[in-house]
Structure 1
Amino acid sequence: MGKKSARPTFGNKEITIVNNAVAMAEELVSNHFKMSASQWLRPKYDVETLTDLTDEEIVDGPFAQIIRYEGKLKGGVLGSSAYDFYKICIQDHAILSTLRMHPEMALSPFALYVVTHELVHIVRFSRFLQNFKASDNEKLDEERRVHAITHDILIPVNIQGLDAVLDFYSTWRPPLDGLKTIP
């Protein structure tokens, strides 16, 4: 029996909400980093929820994780045809559990935060602003940077319930004490 069987998954209504959050997050992140449509296609990625994840892509704790795969252009045999392909693995069970414990938060703004956060990571990886295989300390510093950027992207957005989500993540936004705040 796989890891999925014991975990709650999003239903059709929640999948629609997550899809809307993905579309909005893509636009917000694209605007923040001043990326054109063609630039946005360069960091190839996909977003999947628990029902579409393999057992290896399921984790306990985080609300999402990014896994980097190597893609190859069709018919490409040279190393230059390889590219990084990122998969945002949404952990339905972790999100649903947290929403049950925090009734002040709703799925729509929470999913928007989670997806925006992961897309910021992907942009930073694809622009070589952060190494995907960083040390634990570097990863922690990067998490703080990405939470700060995510907050900056979302603070002007007027969506009901977003304030509660931003408050939920406030401990990740202490002063960056000497951390380089690269956009």
Structure 2
Amino acid sequence: MQKKVSLPTFTTDALTAVNNAVSMAEELVSNHYKMSASQWLHPKYDVKTLVDLNDTEIVDGPFAQIIRYEGKPDGGVLGSSTYDLYKICVQDHAILKVLNEHPEITLFPFALYVITHELIHIVRFSRFIQNFNATDVEKLTEEHRVHGITRDILDAVKAPPMHTVLTFYSTWHAPIDGLKSIL
């Protein structure tokens, strides 16, 4: 965990690019899972960047993380009214570091990959395809699986910057069967 004050954050222009990536990722994931607008609203989630994260939501390494909170409607007092609220915590500093180290990668396609990937996780959690509290081995297998689905979805985005991002993530696109030797 790092303190927010010492970390670089997105500029206003970068936040616009991230917001556009969120909108496109929602549409792409919704289309992939054939979800209607009403179904899409069911898995409740929020996307926040570094300026809106508390210190416990900031991590060193990943480009984003999902934290599951318990949501409750205003005025809801019964336990039966609670729901899972997923928070995608975008780690500006980690993304900006990669963009600085890899000038061939631009923010929009990179953010599109990261957000699409996290939304796929949320759909899989909310549909009980994957357990949020999985073992380490299950989490690693799921990461590879979700990277593969992300690649399949974004491969249809025929823009050169997207290809650069898919290449950046290519080691995560290995078939899951290849994991057996390292697990």
TM-score of the superposed pair, with normalisation by structure 1: 0.95
The residue number in structure 1 matching 2:148 is: 148
Q: How far apart, in 1, do the equivalents of 2:47 and 2:163 lie?
A: 24
Per the TM alignment, residue 178 of structure 1 is displaced from its structure 2 partner at its CA by: 8.3
Where structure 2 has 5 or more consecutive residues not aligned to the other structure, the ranges are none
Kindly provide the CA deviation profile for residues 13-64 of structure 1, in whole angstroms up to 9, marking residues without a partner as x. Answer: 0000000000000000000000000000000000000000000000000000
Q: Helix, strand or coil for the counterpart of 1:161? A: helix
2:80 aligned partner? 80
Inter-partner Cα distance in structure 2 for 1:74 and 1:6: 35
Q: How many residues align?
A: 178
In structure 1, the partner of 2:43 is 43
Residue 158 (structure 1) shift: 2.1
Shift in Å, 1:117? 0.2
Contact 1:3 1:55 in 2 (8 A): yes
Residue pairs, 1:154-165, within 5 angstroms: 154-165=154-165
For residues 19 and 40 of structure 1, the distance between their equivalents in structure 2, rounded to whole angstroms, comes to: 17
Q: 1:172 and 2:155 equivalent?
A: no
What is the distance in 2 between the residues matched to 1:178 and 1:34? 29
Q: Which amino acid aligns with 2:148?
A: A
RMSD: 1.2
Q: Give the secondary-structure state (helix, strand or coil) at the position aligned to 1:177.
A: helix
1:145-181 superposed Cα distances (whole Å, 9 cap, x missing partner): 00000000000112340001000000001112189xx
Q: Is the 8 A contact 1:63 1:91 kept in 2?
A: yes
Q: TM-score, normalised by structure 2?
A: 0.95
What is the identity, as a one-letter code, of the residue corresponding to 1:4? K
Query: Is the CA contact (8 Å cut-off) linking 1:109 and 1:160 kept in structure 2?
Result: no
Q: 1:119 aligns to what? A: 119
What amino acid is aligned across from residue 120 of structure 2 in structure 1?
V
Q: Contact conserved, 1:147 with 1:173, CA < 8 A, in 2?
A: yes
- Higher helix fraction (1 or 2): 2
Q: What percent of counterpart residues are identical?
A: 71
Give the letter aligned to residue 132 of structure 1: F
